Amino acid sequence: MIVFESVTYIYPGGRAALHDISVEIGPGQLVAIVGPNGAGKTTFIKHINGLLKPTSGVVRVFGVDTRYSTAARLSRRVGIVFQNPDHQLFSQSVEEEVAFALRNFGFSQQAIRERVEWALDEFDLSRYRGEPPFSLSGGEKKRLCLACVLAWDPDVIILDEPTTGQDSRHKESLAQRVNMLVSQGKTVILVSHDMEFLWPLQPRLLVLHQGRLVFDGPTTDFFSQDLRARDYSLVEPQLVQLWKGLVFRPDRPFPNTLAARDWLLSRVEVARGAPPR
């Protein structure tokens, strides 16, 4: 569905942002793109909806070579919420912001009304419907951008630093929504430094470093290997730190707190003389 074939991208000033990247992302996958600032993460995702075209190599999205397609055409199926919501918001009201793309994509007036109501209610923005988007807080702007994208129901949803400005309640709600979208067959791509948020989701991890793809695989595999996360500006999740601190431990880090609790309780029972679970 999303195919990068030996993609290199060089900015007009001569700086190479991507180096010979080949990767495939299929339908219904949850993918996290991580790495230090300047690693090429945002450049990578801008290739998926045609905002950028490869200097060499090919990007295909749903079989379409992005070099010969417009970003407007690809955006109907690929929705991106960028890191800075101020780069996406421009309408006079929150309600109009959600409706704008729906009109451009040719939805009927009835569908627009229904989808706007759903989006405002779903993202706790109904009370702001008549307010200018720039009057919202940073976290509210972020939710508005996500509401705008999900309202038109794209097949691929890309979220760039989605937890910025979000409190714990909204982070939990976002995690649940990500899992729901994947269960519906959507492809969800997260760009994030927030490993505590990513860890329970256990996405396929793409690690970029200096424009190169240095790791592609399960998140647990990355932290199970003898790789130094700090070399790629990644903070080890607390469950990984706990796992590494145990003298006797399972083969792989705990995927979530429930798994950690169950394993630790089983060790306590063994210490007390009970048979292991």
pLDDT tens digits, 129-181: 999 999 999 989 999 999 999 999 999 999 999 998 888 988 999 999 999 99
pLDDT of residue 32: 98
Distance CA 109, CA 99 (A): 10
What is the per-residue pLDDT for 226? 65
254 and 208 both lie in a single domain: no
Q: Is the pLDDT of residue 271 over 80?
A: no
Q: Which residues pair with 9 in a beta bridge?
A: 18
Q: Residues 110-130: what's their mean pLDDT?
A: 95
Q: What is the pLDDT of residues 232-253, one digit of tens each?
A: 888 899 999 999 899 888 988 9
Q: Taking all residues of the chain, what is their mean pLDDT, rounded to a whole number?
A: 93
Kindly state whether residues 101 and 193 are assigned to the same domain. Answer: no
Of the pLDDT bands very low, low, confident and very high (cuts 50, 70, 90), residue 225 is confident
- Report residue 214: phi and psi, to 5°: -105, -10
Whether residues 217 and 269 fall in one domain: no
Structural domain total, the chain = 3
* Whole-prediction pTM: 0.92
| One domain, residues 260 and 207 | no
Note whether 70 and 166 are same-domain residues: yes
Query: Is residue 212 in some structural domain?
Result: yes
Structure confidence at residue 224 (pLDDT): 84
Query: HEC profile for 11-36?
Result: CCCCCEEEEEEEEEECCCCEEEEECC
**Spatial distance between the Cα atoms of 138 and 213, rounded to a whole number of angstroms:** 31
> Is 60 exceeded by the pLDDT of residue 21?
yes
Assess whether 17 and 144 both reside in one domain.
Answer: no
Examine residue 24 and state whether it is found in any structural domain, yes or no: yes
- Taking phi over 0 as left and psi of -120 to 50 as alpha, with beta for the rest, 248 belongs to beta
Element (H, E) at 80: strand 78-81
**Cα separation of 203 and 66, whole Å?**
26
For residue 274, the model assigns a pLDDT of 62
Residue 227 has pLDDT above 70, yes or no: no
> Domain ends where: 229, 247, 268?
229
Nearest alpha carbon to residue 200 among 172, 222, 168, 224? 172
Identify the three-state secondary structure at position 236.
coil
Domain range enclosing 13: 1-77+156-229
**In the chain, where does DSSP find H-type helix?**
41-48, 71-75, 94-104, 109-122, 138-151, 168-183, 195-201, 219-224, 238-245, 257-271
Q: What is the pLDDT of residue 276?
A: 56
User: Is the same domain home to 125 and 196?
Assistant: no
Residue 9 sits in the same domain as residue 137:
no
Q: What is the pLDDT of residues 41-59, one digit of tens each?
A: 999 999 999 999 999 999 9
